[in-house]
Amino acid sequence: MAKLTVIPWRAPVAAGPVDAVVHLPGSKSVTNRALVLGALATGPSTLSSPLLARDSALMVAGLRALGTHVSTAADDRWVVRPGPLHAAGHIDVGLAGTVMRFLPPVAGLAAGPATFDGDALARRRPLGPLIDALRRIGVRVDGGPGGVLPLTVHGTGEVRGGEVVIDASASSQLVSGLLLAAARFARGITVRHVGPPVPAAPHLRMTVQMLRSAGAGVDDATPDVWSVAPGRLSGRGWEIEPDLSSALPFFAAALVTAGTVVLPGWPRSSMQPVEQLRGLLRAMGADVRLGTGGLTVRGTGRVHGLDADLSGLSELAPVLAALAALADSPSTLHGVGHIRGHETDRLAVLARALGTLGAEVTELADGLRIVPRPLRAGVVDTDRDHRMAHAAAVIGLAVPGVELSDVACTSKTLPDFPALWSAMIAGD
């Protein structure tokens, strides 16, 4: 069979300040948590403005394979109707960390075996602590050595639950996956983390907040300990707020071009770490305001370097690194060693990509040191990672001739990215 040739996508250059109102889909993190909670509830749930992308489609397909009815006939309103959980063979996780870590605990509650596998790169992502925890609370899991995909969960229709101790320093999703299903466990669960700090703490707070909104009893008063009591989850309506990580490249465009970008529909009270991002953007030279019209970012004509701990904001690191390469002073981004285990080794790929374009980048144990240099045209290997594509597009605003090896990878969380990006620059 002939090898498929992918034509590089040339990132459009901004001729002047952008001035755009950008309508973005719902948060991946909120959408996929709401889907899981809906599948485990006692009545139907609705998701308003959910994310339409590969990661959410894989979650829907996985829940359907476990016996849940999910209606996606209307793009802006999905309906989840829980049913008796039963396994129906293979579940494709793609490259979605939420699917590979949230659904195995649900599969333990289903009757029958469910096999999980995904893209080749997914087999590098760490699952060992989750697998060990499931075995300790009574779930039979078959998997190869190393604690990675593929694996098979042999569900019996019930899970004992209890107390587990895990090292979740590779991903907060290892904890969230256990917590989301725990109200259905006979004893609930208590998860104790032992090891380096859990990354992406805002996502764990999102899990706890959404569980409580669905009626679960959650105790997170003790640092690094989370308890969910056994009980019933209620079906409810979920208003899915816009995705912060997908919004960042558009906000970055305002900084790079000294323009203005508005994201309408942003809630006054967000489950995402919007305040932390506002602080980072302001430090880099932006004016950021949240008002009735939405979240507005204005560039001031200069981008400043940054020294920041991004341990709670790791999904934002690639685009912030791109901004750092265009800044007026050096930057150090740290606290993100765990992103070596994301869709790709993001630190290595970022260092290579930015270096290809002329930046001086030093890999650190837990981050990057970036010294701005005159940038040049080049082809950026995205390594099939949507965040790498976003970062390269940001640099392409200011540097003619930047090409992305694969822009289609953005379909993971934002399928319309190329069209939205081009329309923002064109002023459409």
The residues carrying an active-site annotation are 315
Q: Which residues are annotated as a binding site for phosphoenolpyruvate?
A: 28, 97, 125, 173, 346, 387, 412
Give bridge partners of residue 225 from the DSSP assignment: 192
Q: Which residues are annotated as a binding site for 3-phosphoshikimate?
A: 28-29, 33, 171-173, 315, 342
Collapsing DSSP states into helix, strand and coil, what is residue 134?
helix
7-26 burial: b if 16+ Cβ within 10 Å, else e: eebebbebeebbebebebbb
- For 330, counting Cβ atoms within 10 Å of its Cβ (0-12 exposed, 13-18 middle, 19+ buried), the class is middle
Would you say 238 and 48 are in contact if contact means Cβ atoms under 8 Å apart?
A: yes
What residues have CB less than 8 Å from 280, skipping those under 6 apart? 306, 308, 313, 316, 320
Q: Which residues are annotated as a binding site?
A: 28-29, 33, 97, 125, 171-173, 315, 342, 346, 387, 412
Nearest to 264 by CA among 297, 287, 286: 297
Give bridge partners of residue 368 from the DSSP assignment: 333, 363
Could you tell me where the DSSP H helices lie in 79-172? 97-108, 128-136
How far is it, in rounded angstroms, from Cα 367 to Cα 349? Answer: 12
Give bridge partners of residue 352 from the DSSP assignment: none
Nearest to 210 by CA among 190, 188, 181: 181
Question: Per the structure block, which two tokens stand in for 192?
Answer: 């104790």
What residues have CB less than 8 Å from 292, skipping those under 6 apart? none
- For 290, counting Cβ atoms within 10 Å of its Cβ (0-12 exposed, 13-18 middle, 19+ buried), the class is middle
How far is it, in rounded angstroms, from Cα 53 to Cα 149? Answer: 22
Which phi and psi angles does 40 have, rounded to 5°?
A: -100, 0
End-to-end CA distance of the chain: 41
How far is it, in rounded angstroms, from Cα 123 to Cα 119? Answer: 7
Written as one string, the DSSP assignment of 282-313 is HHTT-EEEEETTEEEEE--S-----EEE-TT-
